[in-house]
Amino acid sequence: MNAKYYGKLIFELSHSGRRGYSLPDETVDGECQLPASLCRQSEPALPEVDELTVVRHYTNMSNNNFGVDTGFYPLGSCTMKYNPKINEEVCRDRAFNDVHPLQSAASVQGSLEAYYDLKELLAKICGMADFTLNPFAGAHGELTGLMVIKAYHRSRGDSKRTKIIVPDSAHGTNPASAARCGFEVVEVKSKPDGRIDVEELKPLLGDDIAGMMMTNPNTLGLFEYEIPEIAALIHGCGGLMYYDGANLNPLLGICRPGDMGFDVMHINLHKTFSTPHGGGGPGSGPVGVRAGLEKFLPLPKVVKNDDGTFAVEEESADSLGSISAFLGNIAVQLKAYAYILTMGSDNLKRVGPMAVLNAMYVREKLKSKYELPITGVCKHEFVFNGLRDKSTGVTTLDVAKRLLDFGFHAPTIYFPLLFHEALMIEPTENESKETLDEFISVMLRIADEAQAEPEKVKSAPHDTPISRLDEVMAAREPRLTYRQLTDNPINA
């Protein structure tokens, strides 16, 4: 990091008259053809900088990024696992990259085969009959899956089913997707042990229930043991079971949502299947369905002809229609495909146990200082309810901020909403014991600091490019442009 550029804005590096280019001084012939109202009357107020300053500015700024490639990233519910570099190489191959989505199917057989093969592999891993890879994200997959449920009920002429049951521990996208799909969201409560309360579920059932969304392991990292009973209850009243498989990590090759009684599901390739995510980058949320629901999946679909070639189906009477541009994020799909093939089935089966072992190890080492509201075996992630010693006034937010000073990404905080001081840690299977031990020692040190010098923790971070933000102001009055130059037209 170069201190001269540290935290500066490009406008602050500007010097009047400095240029990063030189062009021959040629005037353009003829009148401006644009309407006068669209023509610039004065020079734009852009930073005036030389090329080297620009290069240093952006290079130094890129060093402020934190990613899985720079450090430990225990962000619960997000599965920030390592993105193997071979995946990138595969998806950048010109044979995949230099094609156009409107090319004939005959000229992109390789891409179609990869799509087809990946959806078949996912169907096998999840115990589903078919998959679409078209949705662009987990939440998009949820919406697509709920549209399948809607199309299914409509195909039976059943229009009474307006409600979707969602547990209080669900990821926020679940109720949002259900509402976006036009359903009424009915919340079902969890028991003190963090799992769905079947007795609370029973009175909600009726012929107005379209289905229920479940996450397993749930967002507390707990396996929901009562799925067979819950599925029987939902199916008994005519609803369908939806599985939020965004974080399928601990189940890979161990058990399958299809075998548990789920009818529709999505997975996040950008979590379980190692494709990068964060920062709003491209994702992929494939949706799987059990036998009998395949015809409702969105268009276009990739189908295999009898002669072994592949075709793209653009029309079908029962499909819910198109939910994406073409066949989704092919590059992301290819990375996940490469991941599955390079791992192979034996190694895929080791992912879950290793992820669970790492989570249990960190949890057991920290529970003397951090409050563990739910004991028993966790799966790939777990939730603390802040520090055990609440007398110091040091909160989960303070702990998360202090962690940044030691070069760790913060865990997920204040989610799930079941505990006031939730701190949710997911180490993933990729981390070595040395990294976990380092993280554990820093977490224990912060717990000691909270008692010895609470102000130090409360005012953290101290060593990052910017210190603690006013998060309420940042959300309510976001400043998205540079404002010092009030006459700058780009700020208007």
**At closest approach, how far in Å is the CB of 10 from ligand PLP?**
31
Residues 246 and 268: beta-carbon distance below 8 Å:
yes
**At closest approach, how far in Å is the CB of 173 from ligand PLP?**
4
Interface positions, 51-80, toward ligand PLP (CB under 6 A): 77
Interface positions, 281-300, toward ligand PLP (CB under 6 A): 283, 285
Window of 2-10, 87-95, 134-142, 145-153 that interacts with ligand PLP by CB under 6 A:
134-142
**At closest approach, how far in Å is the CB of 82 from ligand PLP?**
18
- 303, amino acid identity: V
State the residue number with the nearest CB to ligand PLP: 138
Window of 111-119, 135-143, 199-207, 296-304 that interacts with ligand PLP by CB under 6 A:
135-143
275 binds ligand PLP (CB under 6 A): no
| For ligand PLP, the closer CB: 236 or 280 | 280
CA nearest 401: which of 456, 480, 338, 330? 456
| For ligand PLP, the closer CB: 137 or 446 | 137
| For ligand PLP, the closer CB: 173 or 396 | 173
**At closest approach, how far in Å is the CB of 272 from ligand PLP?**
10
CA nearest 243: which of 221, 228, 260, 223? 260
Cα–Cα distance list, 236 to 47, 149, 165, 248, 406 (Å): 66, 16, 14, 26, 53
| For ligand PLP, the closer CB: 137 or 327 | 137
**Which single residue is written with the structure tokens 């963090």?**
194
| For ligand PLP, the closer CB: 173 or 274 | 173
430: left (phi over 0), alpha (psi -120 to 50) or beta: alpha
**At closest approach, how far in Å is the CB of 340 from ligand PLP?**
19
| For ligand PLP, the closer CB: 77 or 385 | 77
How buried is 40 (Cβ within 10 angstroms: 0-12 exposed, 13-18 middle, 19+ buried)? exposed
**At closest approach, how far in Å is the CB of 142 from ligand PLP?**
7
144 binds ligand PLP (CB under 6 A): no
| For ligand PLP, the closer CB: 217 or 238 | 217
**At closest approach, how far in Å is the CB of 474 from ligand PLP?**
20
Position among 80, 126, 128, 137 found at the interface with ligand PLP (CB under 6 A): 137
Give the total of residues touching ligand PLP (CB under 6 A): 14
CA-based Rg of the chain, rounded to a whole angstrom? 26
| For ligand PLP, the closer CB: 163 or 171 | 171
Interface positions, 235-254, toward ligand PLP (CB under 6 A): 244, 246-247
Position among 74, 135, 138, 298 found at the interface with ligand PLP (CB under 6 A): 138
Tell me, residue by residue from 206 to 235, as one string, x for binding to ligand PLP by CB under 6 A and - for no binding: ---------x---x----------------
Interface positions, 307-336, toward ligand PLP (CB under 6 A): none
Position among 68, 91, 139, 234 found at the interface with ligand PLP (CB under 6 A): 139
Please tell me the distance from the alpha carbon of residue 201 to that of residue 34, in angstroms, as a whole number: 64
Window of 131-139, 161-169, 330-338, 477-485 that interacts with ligand PLP by CB under 6 A:
131-139
Please name the residues in contact with 235: beta carbons below 8 A apart, sequence gap of 6 or more: 241, 261
In the numeric block, which tokens belong to residue 42? 């004065």
| For ligand PLP, the closer CB: 283 or 288 | 283
Window of 81-89, 115-123, 136-144, 452-460 that interacts with ligand PLP by CB under 6 A:
136-144
Residue 222: other Cβ atoms inside 10 A: 23
Q: Which long-range contacts (CB under 8 A, 24 or more apart) does 399-403 make?
A: 399/423, 399/443, 399/446, 399/447, 399/450, 399/457, 401/457, 401/460, 401/461, 401/468, 402/446, 402/449, 402/456, 402/457, 402/460, 402/461, 403/442, 403/443, 403/446
**At closest approach, how far in Å is the CB of 38 from ligand PLP?**
38
Window of 46-54, 137-145, 293-301, 481-489 that interacts with ligand PLP by CB under 6 A:
137-145
**At closest approach, how far in Å is the CB of 372 from ligand PLP?**
21
Residues that bind ligand PLP (CB under 6 A): 77, 137-139, 171, 173, 215, 219, 244, 246-247, 268, 283, 285
